[in-house]
Structure 1
Amino acid sequence: MNLFEMAESTQMKAVFVEEFGGAENMKIKTDAPVPRVVAGKVLVRLHAAGINELELRIRSRGWRGFITPFVLGMDGAGVVETVGDGVMTCKPGDRVYVCQPITGTYAEYCLADADRVYKLHDKLSFEEGALLPIPYFSALRALTRAHFQRGDSVLVQGASGAVGLAAVQLARGLGASRVFGTAGSERGRQIVREMGADDVFDYKERDFKETVKAAIGPKGVNVILETNVDVNFHFDLEIVSKHGHIVIVGKRGITSCDPQEMVTKESTVTGSALFFCDTEARLDMHDTLYRGVEEGWLKPYIGGRFKLDDVIASHRDIETRSGATGKTVLTIE
């Protein structure tokens, strides 16, 4: 069945990647067909879409079966337009956010499986809701993989990025004893502090490692969330505590280690990927986020705003900026 079959001749604006390559390969179409709603699916009228760095890599060189042309976007927020037969979890008019829908979110509408649509708290705007799915779900998945528990100390490597900021805020809100972060720009470090970190370190400083060691103390840190393992792995193994956990959520190149470094501390190194979460796990994560908003300790940081029509400029801005400072959103009018 063609999910882009016309529904009552309704058309929408959407951003298509027509061939892999530079940002200029994204084309805005105003006559794209609205996805057709079938059983078990939800059609959402989007008001904002989040931009994830993975989407820039997909646009540039493809990833896991993406075939051009396609609409980019893995998360967004808006209002339920229509639900298919059998959908009981939401209804038309509900404010929602979506995580990894069937059709991309750089568009006025997206189609999602019902278990990928979640209630958006009234305290959050659509723009803030569009920041939740990939970064916050990914950060919660990583903390779970780390067996994080209240009272643990946490270090987030690359804390000024979208997942890093989410991890800092979640660790603080869920009861970490101390939260540390690293970031390469002064603005990035300022934002990490605002999100709840006790100490934020400049990884570009010459005495960076000594500064971190002095701050965390001789016992080390219980949990390390690592966004750039090929750069930091040896240092992570050095500063993780006895029985501590290093969770890998990102890398840019090849790395290696001496397993003896893990043996002497009985530490663990594990990977974390949101794509392996099942429906129940995602719902649990949503409940945690909703509770965090309700209790007042969760508030997403908007790193930048662009209109859907300026999508090319938004990607170029991310590609050329000097340091990560949160997540950018596209507003959809």
Structure 2
Amino acid sequence: MRRYELVGRRDIRLVTDAPVPVPGPLEVLVRVRACTVCNRSDLAYYHYYGEREHCAQGCFGHEVAGVVEAVGPGVTRVAPGRRVFVRTPLTTGYAEFALAREIAVGLLPDEVPFEQGAILQLLPLAVHATRGVRLGDRVAVIGQGPVGLMALRMAALRGASRITAVDLDDWRLDRSALLGADTTRRVDGSAAALREVADGVDVAIDAVGTPTTLNACVDLVRQNGLVVMLGTHHVDTHVTLDLVTWERKGLRVHSSAEPLDTARAEALATAERLVRSKELYLPELLTHTYPLEDLPKAMEQLSASRALYPDGEQAPYDGPPHRTLKVAVVP
């Protein structure tokens, strides 16, 4: 089969005779119909392979949708021929086939195109990230990339009374308004600008993953408010926080992580119900589609991003890629 492999920093190579994985116990083999590029993890792995230890450990190409090709012993939830999306596979989705654990596979309705279905890998993250949002809460979401937009949508569905969307880019903020933001704020990314976004929100969600955005969330929330770490700190892996401020405000914090398989299963079940409800606005998130052999072009397009550079470093870009959200790669 054809498969792309990340072999070095900014070095991906297409293998044309890779073996098709064989599913073991409780594993599922998926014929990949689409794999979307993760705007944070995949790009960080691509740009920092060999420079950040964790960038050689994650699965490069992990947002997959396709059809079950075969199942291993003990699999009961899905059978060959079933349309599915995958929450982090065992092997790359930049290939014709990908292997996944049964517990990481969600059911994909017939009416959802595979290119949009692959985006659903983000949904369990957004489900976990917004689990502390209560009916009537005022919520600020910093960063309106794909995962930030998904978190915004989940906050709206959970009954937030007012949602403020924050980003560097006006075009992305237009998408925010479509997905349910009550207020949109364009900022220049500086700490001073972020502090002026809102006053005393109940929940502040960092959907970027930089020291500046995380500290801004600490400033934005009210006394005893909730700070959510949704954006992954792949580039700036160490973040300094003012713990005196944290203690004085009595803040709570959680991440979007799924530490247990039970949590993963619950989030996937929730995701399946949400997909059936047609409340996710998936077409607004998908902006480009490339054939598998053009994965390097997709990586180049998404790499024009300020978020790929350390927070305090001069970057060649002022914001995110132009008019780009999710990019799907199709075998």
TM-score (norm 2): 0.84
Change (3 A) 1:245 1:21: same
Q: Percent identity?
A: 28
Aligned residues: 305
Mapping of 1:1-333 within 5 angstroms? 12-17=1-6, 19-22=7-10, 25-52=11-38, 53-60=40-47, 61-62=49-50, 63-64=53-54, 66=56, 72-133=60-121, 135-144=122-131, 147-159=132-144, 161-204=145-188, 208-209=193-194, 212-213=197-198, 217=199, 220-226=200-206, 227-249=208-230, 250-251=232-233, 252-253=235-236, 254-270=238-254, 272-274=255-257, 276-300=258-282, 301-320=285-304, 322-323=319-320, 325-332=324-331
Q: What is the rounded CA distance, in whole Å, between the counterparts of 1:46 and 1:166 in structure 2?
A: 23
Residues 182 and 201 in structure 1, CA contact (< 8 A), matched pair in contact too: yes
1:280-323 deviation line (CA, Å, top 9, x unaligned): 21222122222223223113211322111100000010012541
Stretch deviating more after TM superposition (77-86 or 300-309):
300-309
Residues 123 and 293 in structure 1, CA contact (< 8 A), matched pair in contact too: no
1:212, distance to aligned residue in structure 2 (A):
2.1
Q: What is the rounded CA distance, in whole Å, between the counterparts of 2:189 and 2:82 in structure 1?
A: 48
- Secondary structure of 1:304's match? strand
Could you tell me which amino acid in structure 2 is paired with residue 197 of structure 1? A
1:239, distance to aligned residue in structure 2 (A):
2.2
1:171-214 deviation line (CA, Å, top 9, x unaligned): 1122111111111111111111112111111111898457523x
Which structure has the greater CA radius of gyration? 1
Residues 27 and 75 in structure 2, CA contact (< 8 A), matched pair in contact too: yes
Q: What is the rounded CA distance, in whole Å, between the counterparts of 1:37 and 1:296 in structure 2?
A: 32
Residues 15 and 72 in structure 1, CA contact (< 8 A), matched pair in contact too: no
Residues 165 and 326 in structure 1, CA contact (< 8 A), matched pair in contact too: no
Q: What is the aligned-residue RMSD (CA, Å)?
A: 2.3
Q: What is the rounded CA distance, in whole Å, between the counterparts of 1:91 and 1:123 in structure 2?
A: 19
For residue 313 of structure 2, what is the aligned residue in structure 1?
none
Could you tell me which amino acid in structure 1 is paired with residue 140 of structure 2? L
Gaps of 5+ in 1: 1-11
Gaps of 5+ in 2: 306-318
Residues 173 and 292 in structure 1, CA contact (< 8 A), matched pair in contact too: no
